Structure 1
Amino acid sequence: MLTLRVDADTVSRTRLSPSPASESMAWLKLAAASGRHPVFGDPGPLARASLAHPDVALLADLLPRNGDTYTPDLLTPQPGTGTQRRDLIDEQIAQIEAVAQDDLEEQLFTYTRTHWSRPLRATTIRIAESGRLQRRLANGLARFWRDSLSDGWPELRSILDQDIAHRATAMATHGVGRTLGALHPDIAWTGDAISIAKSWDGEIDATGRDLVFAPSVLGRPGVIIQVDTPGQLVLYYPAQRIGTSRDRRSGNLAEVVGNARAVLLADLETARSTKELATRSGYAPGTISYHLGALHRAGLVTKVRAGRYVLYQRTAQAAGMLDEAGG
């Protein structure tokens, strides 16, 4: 049993927030392991194609595998308060780039050695020791987010926001303690502490610290506690509604994530140029070019030059995905 010792200050600073970085890491782990989400299925070709980028591959190499569970906390910074101009994901990317070298080395060199059954790659160690790893990891997260999750984040965010709204109402009605104790069967509120059912015993002093409860859609169904980065205390729990009939009808997250790309694929039965697609869809040419690049890397569109223009057309694989989504 793990115990988080809290005080009134902790309770007053407890908040609920989604964590796009954590959702990205969960989706990246599935893509790298050729795994499937129990509700949303296969991460899809866009996520797998993103792994070809060296910074995304470097990020994926720092995720647990072969039964290990430890993920360096620096990859999932505590979500901000939302008062900044930037989006949550931009704030978290900036936090990764700003991680102190001592904290990075402690998590990568000490904690992975303790919790992993495999050693860090020599290349990763060299990059970490050079002080360049923070920027590479931040760039890897930004690239994976753009390639596989950004276009559909509003769909996922709506599920997370509904959970947060439900919990906020419960807090207003029943109080903080009762609401926290109802987040998950493995979480209990004792009055001066939060207990979490774990296979190991421990106590963490959370007095006077910010405590963020983050609902998760793509992560594991259990409860995860994040305490290794100084000043960042996050507890992840499964959001409600995951696995409802509405979610199961989506079948594959590729059918939910990527509205703009789905529009383009549906219009690419006939070969078209970027300019023509922009006119027909209403998206800016730059947006069209970005999405076509991602679709091409994933093998979902082909491109051929015809005079002054490059013409794009969907592949048989993309046509099959559209047929499956329509069914």
Structure 2
Amino acid sequence: MFTLRVDAETVARTRFSPSLAAESLAWLKLAAGSGRHPVFGDPGPLARASLAHPDVALLLDLLPQTGEVYTPDLLTPQPGTSSRPGDLLDEQIALIEATTQDAVEEQVLSYTQVHWRRPLPVTARRVVESGAMPRRLANGLARFWRDALAEDWTVLQSVVDRDVTHRAKTIAARGVGAVLGELHPSIGWAGDAITLDKPWDGEVDIGGRELVLAPGVLSWPGTSIQIDVPGQVVLGYPALGIGTGADRRPGRIASVVGAARAALLADLEPARSTAELAVRTGYAPGTVSYHLSALHRAGLVSKVRDGRYVLYQRTARAVVLLEGDVSG
């Protein structure tokens, strides 16, 4: 069990913000391992192609492998306070580039030696010794984001926004402690401490520090804690509403529009956003967007704007097709 001791100032300075650097690294690791996210699926060819750039590959050299748990905190600086994802990521990239050589050597050379089961790759060690590590890591993160995530993040941001809105309502009704105790089954609140069910024991006093709670989408369903950078505390937790799934029974309509589009049509009651459909159906956001565009051109879905979100809804024509599918 790992414990974070807090005081009133820490509770008062608790805020929410996604870590776009952490989300990028989660997607990067899946792309490198030819893995699939349990909800958002395959990272795709653009993400894999980005791995060929040496600065993106350098990021991968610093990520833990199976059986290892340590990731250098310099890769995921504490998120700032910007409300714009682009600015939020730019702030984290600037912090990576500003990392001191002492911090690089401590985290990349010393801490990996303690926590990893293998030596640091020789190429990464040489970059550390050259003093170019911060600049190259910052460039690698910026490039991977641009290649693999920038276009789709608006969709994923809506999932984050809904999670934060829910947490804010909980705070208004029941207080900060209620939120801290409900972030995840492995995260607990003891009145003066946050407990985390981790494979290691320890206790750290974070009294007086700002605590950032970072809802994870691509990093779902994992939890994380970073405290190695002085003054920074980030607690990552899975955003709500991901992985709930949807009961897809596309039936014979799938032979007309395809299984994916039939599943989306079946789940468009009530109207839903692209992000919500991705969460419910398990398809990648880009895949959902592609199929919705085709359904819209075919006159099977309509779309309306609801504040920051675009909601999709079945048209009368789609209802007729679905009813025929059920009756047949």
- Could you say which TM-score interval applies, normalised by the shorter chain? 0.7 to 0.9
| 1:43–1:254 contact (8 Å) kept in structure 2 | no
Is 1:67 the equivalent of 2:67? yes
SS for the counterpart of 2:287 is helix
Distance in 2, matches of 1:86 and 1:37, equals: 23
Which aligned runs of 4 or more in structure 1 are off by greater than 3 angstroms? 83-86
Instruction: State the identity %.
Output: 63
49-58 or 60-69, which deviates more = 60-69
Structure 1 residue 212 displacement after superposition: 0.5
> 1:7-156, aligned counterparts within 5 Å?
7-82=7-82, 87-156=87-156
**2: distance between equivalents of 1:54 and 1:197?**
36
Structure 1 residues 185, 10: CA separation in 2 closer, same or farther (over 3 Å shift)? Answer: same
CA distance in 1, matches of 2:110, 2:220: 24
Q: What are the superposed Cα offsets for residues 190-225 of structure 1, whole Å, 9 maximum, x if unpaired?
A: 111111112221111100001001010111423211
Where relative contact order (Cα < 8 A, 6+ residues apart) is larger, the structure is 1
Aligned to 1:171: 171
Aligned to 1:158: 158
The answer on whether the counterparts of 1:41 and 1:253 sit within 8 Å (CA) in structure 2 is: no
* Amino acid aligned to 2:233: L
AA matched with 1:60:
L
- AA aligned to 2:210 is D
Q: Give the structure-1-normalised TM-score.
A: 0.76
Q: Is there any run of 5+ residues in structure 2 with no aligned partner, and where?
A: 247-276, 294-328
For normalisation by structure 2, the TM-score amounts to 0.76
Instruction: Provide closer, same or farther for how the CA distance between residues 256 and 120 of structure 1 changes in structure 2, counting only shifts above 3 A.
Output: farther
In 1, the alpha carbon distance for the partners of 2:74 and 2:184 equals 25
Q: CA RMSD in A?
A: 1.9
CA contact (8 A) 1:188 1:196 kept: yes
CA distance in structure 1 between the aligned counterparts of 2:86 and 2:141, rounded to whole angstroms: 16
User: More displaced, 21-30 or 81-90?
Assistant: 81-90
Structure 1 contact 152–256 (Cα < 8 Å) conserved: no
Report the Cα distance in structure 1 between the residues aligned to 2:241 and 2:191, rounded to whole angstroms.
28
State the one-letter code of the partner of 2:287.
E
Residue 183 of structure 1, CA deviation: 0.9
Secondary structure (helix, strand or coil) at the match of 1:151 reads coil
Amino acid at match of 1:104: V
In structure 1, what is the Cα distance between the partners aligned to 2:280 and 2:187? 27
SS in 1 for 2:95: helix
Change (3 A) 1:121 1:85: closer
- In 2, the alpha carbon distance for the partners of 1:26 and 1:85 equals 17
Q: Deviations over 1:129-156 (max 9, x none)?
A: 1111100000000000000000111111
SS of corresponding position for 2:232: coil
Superposed displacement of residue 249, structure 1: 2.8
Local SS of the residue matching 1:195:
strand
CA drift at 1:48? 0.1
Which letter maps to 2:179?
A: T
Cα separation, 2, equivalents of 1:183 and 1:124:
35
User: What secondary structure, in the 3-state scheme, does the structure 1 residue paired with 2:21 have?
Assistant: helix
Indicate conservation of the 8 Å contact 2:163/2:240, yes or no.
yes
